[in-house]
Amino acid sequence: MAAFEHFKDMYDVALKPRLLNTIIREHLPSADHPFSNPSELSKVVSLIKTHSLLSDSVTESLDPKLIKSLKSSFTSWVDRLLLLISSHEPDKRWAGISLLGVTCEECSSDRFEESYTVWFQKLLTCLQSPAESHLVRVAACASISDLLTRLSGFPKFKKDGSASAVKVVQPVLKMLHDDNSDAVWEAGVHVICTLITSFPFSIQRHYDSVESAIAVKLVSGGCSHDMMKKLAHCLALLPKSKGDEESWSVMMQKILILINDQLNLTFQGLEEETIRKEFNGLLILPGKQPPPPLGCDVSTEEPSTNTKKRSKQSRTSNVSLLMSGCCMLLTNTYPVKVNVPVRLLLVLVERILMVNGALPEMSLPFMTGRQQENVCSELPVLHMCSLELLAAIIKATGSQLLPHAASIVRFITKYFKTCALSELRIKIYSIAKILLISMGVGMALCLSKEVVNNAIADLSTIEKKNGGMSNGSNTDASTVAPLPASSKKRKHSSTTGSLQEYDAGGGLGVEVPKKCTVAPISLRVAALETLEALITVAGALKSEQWRSKVDSLLIVIAMDSLREGSSSEEINVFQKKELTATAADLQLAALRALLASFLSVPRPPYLSQGLELFRRGKQQTGTKLAEFCAHAMLTLEVLIHPRALPLVDYVPPNNNTYDEVHFNFRDECVSRNHTTPFGLHQTEPPDGVNNMFADYLANGDDDMGGLWKENMKDAKKSSEMATPLPSSADIQERSEMVTETTTCADVEMRTVENETVSKSDNPGESVTHFQEPATCTTSNPAVIDIRGDAATITEAERIVSDSAIAHNEAKHVELASQSRSSAQSSDTNMLQQFAFKLDYGNSVDDDDDPFPDIVDGDPDSE
Amino acid sequence: MDVVLASSSVDDGIGCWDLHTGAEQLRYNSCSSPFHGLVSLGSRFLASSQLHHPSSASLFFWSFSKPQVEVKSFPAEAIKPLAANHQGTYLVGGALSGDIYLWEVETGRLLKKWHAHLRAVTCLVFSDDDSLLISGSEDGYVRVWSLFSLFDDLRSREEKNLYEYSFSEHTMRVTDVVIGNGGCNAIIVSASDDRTCKVWSLSRGTLLRSIVFPSVINAIVLDPAEHVFYAGSSDGKIFIAALNTERITTIDNYGMHIIGSFSNHSKAVTCLAYSKGRNLLISGSEDGIVRVWNAKTHNIVRMFKHAKGPITNIIVVRQEIDPSNHTSSNLQAATKKHGSYLLPPLEKYANSTDSDLKTAINLGGIRGCMDVSYNSSNLISNHIKELQQQGSATASEIEMEKLKHEYQRTMEMANQWKKMYENLHEFGIKELLDGGQT
């Protein structure tokens, strides 16, 4: 070979054969040289993978010489591997087998198609020979499973592949039977899983023996937890090999029966008979034969004796594994529809969650403290897996959960109240989150109270750190006091505008139960995420009870978390235990929840503080937080500059004529119980109206005034459009319009009255609205369109009759409740004024007019 | 492939056209449906309530691949409007008595039946997250139901009203109800015989806007971005009414919030649909013709002649590119294995709780691709780690194997030497003996 034969650069194909040859020459062991350093192999693998030395695809454009050298280098690579495999030394065989596995993964399709049969035979003989060392067997298993995985990607070799796969099953089963070491089992189980997913037919004939082999191992225990998980996974995959509904159900039932047996033993004397009986009744339906126990009938005796021998600890760990098997059955894909015993599974979950280790009165004499201790030590694990099972059920059933959703919510809320371990709480938060997102608004209405109460309890630790609170009234972490909605606090919260005030005040009026311990960050993150989900799903629907509390809580948490981030050492001191969640996660979760809270209401109360937080977060370059904050700023921009006119423009119809007419009609139509005759009080008037009205009165000559002028033009224009009639009719028409305007005004006044009355009930809201009187570009959709009407009315009244304004409110209410006649009586007066108003509008006339009509003419009234 | 399906109140079957090419597809036989009486169940089946059996109420199912009626069910009373959730797992029907029935499609079980209105239910629609159901009735009420609460037996016993909201502002029969996007902040638009359309806020439960039209609105459909909605009126016009437009410019002299209209109908517009994929507005008319409009220009793009009688329903369904190939091959495979793949007929009455033990669930089996994972390269690095660890089980095992091998070789060598020695010995003795003899 010419020493100075250069190639272009590192992307040149010519590099590949040269590099491969070098690897073969220098890094691979050969038949006669001893295999000194196994770590060389890792270099080989990484070189092969990064330069994809084996996977070149030969294209026409390549130089034929190059093609030849590619081919020859690959051939010599494979030859060397095969040579190694047939060597006598185990480590060389191991190297050869493993590298052949890598070759199966990496080589180009053409080459794989060409020579996979040879490779398969080689690997199979390695698997079958009884005298092999563990290492070689494990490697052979891995390589053969890689080969089969690759093979399953070629549809044309489906038949051939199945035929080869069948040959693997027996040796693997034999190997599992003879050998008991974890490594071999792991490799064997991996092969079986590959067979089930890639060539399901191959395993069908051996279904029972595979099941029994795995079940025996699983029940007898005695291997690592990871291994057990894999076994459970394999067991859950097994029905796929048959792929029919029946085998799935049977597998599920077998597992559940086993769980039931073990739970009966474990929970003896700890649980109520009723739920156990319910479970048993559902497990084996009356008149039906229970399936043979898990594992084959032949081996029934053996595991059952094993079960008795084993200690209680392993029994509960077994239950948890079996339950994770159930989860996998539910979450793995399956080719056909299956009948999931949802009710039964839910009863199982409930049954486990209801046991808290307390002894019922009657079983006190039958249980020693030691026994109780044993059970209690294992209970958290059991609870954890039953919650996981619950999550799997929810995930699997999706929308079909509906008939069962209510019962789930019921026991979740029950469990939420008692659950105190943070791991379990995190899990239950995540379940609540899944439920909220998947079941939507309806679920949120039910779950909101529980989620909010618990989240506030878990997040309340901030309160303590602010130093504003004394430790005097510590309550237990598990007890959640109901939140008093004190109006004083609310008022405080709404007037608080700045960070400083918040600092001094020790929170924005969030009344939360104090805890002596700081909830772990991961728990707080979970609580925040669940709140976020709640707000996302139903932040605006019937959320009055909790909305303001949550809003202020979130801004506090967000501010606090950003501050926490700056002093991360401090965090590390007392959060040593936590490996999963860090302060950064908390920041992210807090800001995410904050964004959701901003977006779900038309007019977020803490927008300015929030914007500041997002701006600060964005500066933390290179973090997830910065990415998110950039996104948040973009999203909020739409909130600040709404791109369309808000929709709300409705003034309740109180044109008496209209309502009377139709009310009569309706009475004829159907008789029904009206809470109020006109349906007027049922629908709250949009609350922006009154504020706008007040705002307008407060500063009449700013841009509101300008707006009003334009509206006046509108009024004129519309009235002109609506009245192209001769004068007699004109007057009639106008009088009608005036009637309407007056009544509108009445409503305005009346709602003002309502507001003042309700202010004592609910001052927080109204104060919030009045908080920024100067800013007229409010983001409340209730306001802007209303403005047209409100302004006009006011002005009309001003110009027209001072008496209207001079009237006290009581009189107006009276006026409103009067019938049409009263409105008519003032018609003449009003009419004149209205005409004047129109003239006025005329004089300031302008030609183009971007604003909509504002007088809501009602052609339907007759 | 977006297809448009139309049914009529006279028995002309269900017409089916490809929106893109305009080609007529299968025509599903024997269907005469009332308004809002045609739904697709998760784009696998069609369901329609039937008019032509005045005495016995009936509901028909078609599978998308066959023109014949696959399943006929006969509910306890006449059902007119139907609605299905997006996945097609539940079917709700509104009865003449004002009751609403909720069936599980897969099993045909009647899961729930409740008294919703005093008069007949006229239209039903699911919210976009499928958790709320909105019903309109002849008595003018529009009611919002949370399905979740309906199934909560304990709570429903406690509370007087099952509904979340009851909107009473319409004075006459509600003709159509639609709901927009936006979860709990969505808007509901309802049309009524009282010549108004009303826009409601779901989050606040209040009336946002009431729009008075010159004539009765039979059907409404929302623009996907919810800038406007289209209202098909009984005088043949389709009005455009403003929801969230930036500028409201009243072109015609119709009244507030109506920003335009277009028409090519001689007779009343009876139903409307919107194809989101292609931005087309589809209208059905009393004269039996389905017209497809470009939603931007308001020009007619296509016309399909369907029936002699008025069109009562139009739905747009997205079908797989080649329905005979992909989905149905799976279905056929399933059918071969497990007998016929048919939906059971809907139950008349709610059964005992016995049957709700199991739920037939599709565990995503049709999802084709699976994650391919290769193991051996990981295994190599694991093993290398183990081998490098002096004294680890693997290393010692390999060492042992090596030693065994060595031992074997040495033994062989020793044997060889031994044999050589013996040979030599023999040779020596032979020589000696031979020497002695001579």
For residue range A422-441, what is the model confidence (pLDDT) as tens digits?
899 999 999 999 999 988 88
Write out residues 497-536 of A within 8 Å (CB-CB) of B.
Answer: 536
Q: Report pLDDT for B341.
A: 57
- Give the whole-angstrom CA distance, residue A33 versus residue A28: 10
Task: Tell me: pLDDT of A799 over 70.
Answer: no
- Give the whole-angstrom CA distance, residue A644 versus residue A683: 25
Task: Tell me: pLDDT of A637 over 60.
Answer: yes
For residue A238, what are the contacts with CB-CB under 8 A and spacing of at least 6? A196, A203, A207, A210, A211, A214, A247, A251
Token pair belonging to A77: 């690579």
Closest CB to B367 among A41, A333, A600: A333
A91 touches chain B (CB under 8 A): yes
- B81: amino acid identity, one letter: P
Instruction: Please state, in angstroms and as integers, the Cα–Cα distance from residue B98 to each residue in A313, B9, B200, following that order.
Output: 58, 21, 22
In eight-state DSSP terms, residue B31 is: -
Closest CB to A341 among B151, B199, B357: B357
Helices A607-618 and A544-566: angle between axes, nearest 10 degrees = 30
Mutate to test the interface with A, among B105, B259, B377, B386 (most CBs of A within 10 A): B377
Contacts with A541 from chain B: Cβ below 8 Å: 184, 202-203
Say yes or no for a CB contact (<8 Å) between B247 and A850.
yes
Contacts with B104 from chain A: Cβ below 8 Å: 400, 403
Closest CB to A333 among B111, B246, B364: B364
Q: Report pLDDT for A571.
A: 46
A281 touches chain B (CB under 8 A): no
What backbone torsions phi and psi does residue A64 show, to the nearest 5 degrees?
-60, -30
Say yes or no for a CB contact (<8 Å) between B207 and A197.
no
Task: Tell me: pLDDT of A543 over 90.
Answer: no
Contacts with B205 from chain A: Cβ below 8 Å: 542, 683
Q: Report pLDDT for B386.
A: 77
Q: Which residue has the higher pLDDT, A758 or A201?
A: A201
Give the Cβ contact number of residue B382 at 10 Å: 15
Q: Report pLDDT for A860.
A: 44
Say yes or no for a CB contact (<8 Å) between A859 and B214.
yes
Q: What is the pLDDT of residues A61-73, one digit of tens each?
A: 778 888 888 889 9
Token pair belonging to A331: 């979450």
Token pair belonging to B357: 């033990």
- Give the whole-angstrom CA distance, residue B96 versus residue B100: 9
What is the residue-wise DSSP string for A127-184? HH-TT--HHHHHHHHHHHHHHHHHHHT-GGGHHHHHHHHHHHHHHHHHHHHH---HHH
Give the mean model confidence (pLDDT) for residues A299-326. 61
How close A658 gets to chain B, by Cα (Å)? 11
Q: What is the pLDDT of residues A364-386, one digit of tens each?
A: 777 778 888 888 888 999 999 99
Q: Report pLDDT for B54.
A: 59
Residues A508 and A565 sit within 8 Å (Cβ to Cβ) = no
Give the Cβ contact number of residue A58 at 10 Å: 15
- Quickly tell me which residue has 């080869």 as its tokens: A164
Q: Which residue has the higher pLDDT, A354 or A670?
A: A354
Token pair belonging to A175: 């190997």
How close B78 gets to chain A, by Cα (Å)? 21
Say yes or no for a CB contact (<8 Å) between A98 and B383.
yes
Residues A825 and A620 sit within 8 Å (Cβ to Cβ) = no
Task: Tell me: pLDDT of A736 over 90.
Answer: no
Contacts with B341 from chain A: Cβ below 8 Å: none
pLDDT bracket for residue A183 (50, 70, 90):
confident
Contacts with A398 from chain B: Cβ below 8 Å: 87, 89, 361
Say yes or no for a CB contact (<8 Å) between A541 and B202.
yes
Here the ipTM equals 0.83
Give A558: exposed, middle or buried? Use CB within 10 Å, 0-12, 13-18, 19+: buried
Task: Tell me: pLDDT of A816 over 60.
Answer: no
Token pair belonging to B190: 């309802």
Contacts with A852 from chain B: Cβ below 8 Å: 242, 248, 250, 256-257
Say yes or no for a CB contact (<8 Å) between A440 and B111.
no
- Give the whole-angstrom CA distance, residue A637 versus residue A631: 10
Write out residues 241-260 of A within 8 Å (CB-CB) of B.
Answer: 244-245
A41 touches chain B (CB under 8 A): yes
Instruction: Please state, in angstroms and as integers, the Cα–Cα distance from residue B232 to each residue in A783, A850, B107, B132, B244, following that order.
Output: 30, 27, 37, 25, 19
What backbone torsions phi and psi does residue A259 show, to the nearest 5 degrees?
-60, -45
Say yes or no for a CB contact (<8 Å) between A90 and B375.
no
How close B11 gets to chain A, by Cα (Å)? 32
| Long-range CB contacts (within 8 A, 24+) of A502-508 | A502/A556, A502/A559, A503/A466, A505/A468, A506/A463, A506/A466, A506/A467, A506/A468, A506/A469, A507/A462, A507/A463, A507/A466, A507/A468, A507/A552, A507/A556, A508/A552, A508/A553, A508/A555, A508/A556, A508/A606
Task: Tell me: pLDDT of A568 over 50.
Answer: no
Q: Report pLDDT for A565.
A: 52
- A396: amino acid identity, one letter: A
Strand partners, B294: B280
Say yes or no for a CB contact (<8 Å) between B375 and A145.
yes
**Of A198-212, A635-649, B354-368, where does the model show the most confidence?**
A198-212
Q: Report pLDDT for A461.
A: 62
Q: What is the pLDDT of residues A152-180, one digit of tens each?
A: 888 888 888 888 888 899 888 888 888 77
Task: Tell me: pLDDT of A388 over 90.
Answer: yes
Give the A:B interface size as CB pairs under 8 Å: 290
Strands across the sheet with B99-104, in order? B79-84, B90-95, B99-104, B110-115
Give the mean model confidence (pLDDT) for residues A761-782. 39
Q: Chain-centre distance of CA A142, in angstroms?
A: 36
Q: Report pLDDT for B170.
A: 93
Q: Report pLDDT for B55.
A: 60
Say yes or no for a CB contact (<8 Å) between B127 and A134.
no
Residues B195 and B183 sit within 8 Å (Cβ to Cβ) = no
Digits of tens for pLDDT over chain B (438 positions)?
788 999 888 877 888 888 888 888 888 888 888 899 899 887 778 899 887 665 667 888 888 888 888 888 888 888 899 999 888 889 999 998 999 999 988 888 888 889 999 999 999 999 988 889 999 999 999 999 988 888 877 776 777 778 889 999 999 999 999 999 888 888 999 999 999 999 998 888 889 888 889 889 999 999 888 888 999 999 888 998 888 765 555 555 667 778 888 887 678 899 999 988 888 999 998 888 899 998 888 888 888 888 788 899 999 988 765 444 444 344 444 444 443 456 777 777 776 555 556 777 777 654 444 566 787 788 888 888 777 776 677 777 777 877 888 898 899 999 999 999 999 999 999 999 988 776
Task: Tell me: pLDDT of A822 over 70.
Answer: no
B2-347: CATH number = 2.130.10.10
Element holding B34 (H helix, E strand) = none
Helices A583-600 and A607-618: angle between axes, nearest 10 degrees = 140
Residues A238 and A294 sit within 8 Å (Cβ to Cβ) = no
What's the sign of the alpha-carbon dihedral A812, A817, A822, A828?
positive
Q: Report pLDDT for A786.
A: 39
Contacts with A721 from chain B: Cβ below 8 Å: 253
Say yes or no for a CB contact (<8 Å) between A409 and B152.
yes
Give the Cβ contact number of residue A511 at 10 Å: 16
A849 touches chain B (CB under 8 A): no
Q: What is the mean pLDDT of chain A?
A: 70
Q: Report pLDDT for B243.
A: 83
Say yes or no for a CB contact (<8 Å) between A340 and B359.
yes
- B429: amino acid identity, one letter: I
Say yes or no for a CB contact (<8 Å) between B401 and A197.
no
Residues B172 and A664 sit within 8 Å (Cβ to Cβ) = no
- Quickly tell me which residue has 């031992």 as its tokens: B407
Say yes or no for a CB contact (<8 Å) between A343 and B357.
yes
Q: Which residue has the higher pLDDT, A393 or A710?
A: A393
Q: Report pLDDT for B133.
A: 93
Q: Report pLDDT for B92.
A: 93
A49 touches chain B (CB under 8 A): yes
Q: Report pLDDT for B416.
A: 94
- Give the whole-angstrom CA distance, residue A216 versus residue B105: 41
Strands across the sheet with B311-318, in order? B14-18, B2-8, B311-318
Give the mean model confidence (pLDDT) for residues A197-224. 84
Alpha-helical regions (H) of A516-543: 521-538
Half-sphere exposure of A842 toward its Cβ, with a 13 Å CA cutoff?
Answer: 8
Q: Report pLDDT for A530.
A: 94
Q: What is the pLDDT of residues A481-491, one digit of tens each?
A: 333 333 333 33
Q: What residue ranges do the domains of chain A occupy?
A: 206-418, 436-640, 656-861
Say yes or no for a CB contact (<8 Å) between B361 and A337.
yes
Residues A187 and A142 sit within 8 Å (Cβ to Cβ) = yes
Give the mean model confidence (pLDDT) for residues A451-474. 62
| Long-range CB contacts (within 8 A, 24+) of A848-851 | A849/A710, A849/A713, A849/A714, A849/A717, A850/A710, A850/B247, A850/B249, A851/A710, A851/A711, A851/A713, A851/A714, A851/A788, A851/B248
Give the mean model confidence (pLDDT) for residues A794-805. 40
Q: Report pLDDT for B177.
A: 95
- Give the whole-angstrom CA distance, residue A713 versus residue A842: 7
Q: Report pLDDT for B62.
A: 87
- Give the whole-angstrom CA distance, residue A594 versus residue B135: 35
